[in-house]
Amino acid sequence: MVNDPGTARVAAVSGGSSGIGRAIAEAFGGRGWKVAIGARGLERAREAARAVVGAGGGCHAEQLDVTDAVSIDAFYAAVERELGVVDLVVSCAAHARPGRMHERPAEAIRSEIETGLVGALLFVRRGIQRMLDCGVRGEIVFVSSSAAAVPWPLLTAYAASKAGLEQAARSLALELEGTGIRCQVVRPGNTLDTGWASDWSSQELAAVADWARSGLLRHTGMLQPAEVAGAVLAAVSVPRGVQLDHVSVSPEAPVEGE
């Protein structure tokens, strides 16, 4: 097998045009790696690609719908033509809106599960196929959420997608034993500047107060996307021979008096 984590890599990041996905792509670019950014909005993906190049990496932006296997195939084919065989796949595409489960439209629930769980599996599936076909050592990273481990009211479908994702990752890690492909989960806590809430209604934003009352927002500390990206970079940089189950990243509480 070829490749090791100390050399320049070719990474594919779904949901890489904004928030945590974009920060991950930029962190990889800072290492001088080649990065493929996939997102539904091509113009935003191209803007993110320019930031990756500015950070010192190569980058290619490609339109991607992770719920569509044809779109995924086209994405990987284009990336391989432009950058080479992908040896690092990061699944970050997801979306959610708060609301009581029984009041949400059926299609909204379905969309969150299809993007965050089914789409994530379809996206990494294609990357694994090419690594195995080409004899490349590599790895898969699923970006999860603290909602996978802690009950999170008003985000029931999203929490279910992330809990399912983590169980899938554990199963996939066992499937991939002996192939030279590692599978890991990075589980961030509450993070600012992801762009998720930019179009939430005032009623949807009121969910934040509910989460605080439930003890899910224990203090005012919040992560930044770049901090989550740092955890992902650290996870994929551990030496060969080490298999991480998951990495949880939580915001530090503000220091009193500062």
Q: What are the residue numbers of the active site? A: 158
124-146 core/surface letters (b: 16 or more CB in 10 A; e: else): bebbbebbeebebbbbbbbbbbb
Q: Are 16 and 39 in contact (CB under 8 A)?
A: yes
Q: What's the half-sphere exposure (Cβ side, CA atoms, 13 Å) at 210?
A: 13
Q: Are 210 and 154 in contact (CB under 8 A)?
A: yes
Closest C-alpha to 188, from 7, 1, 24? 24
Q: Are 127 and 66 in contact (CB under 8 A)?
A: no
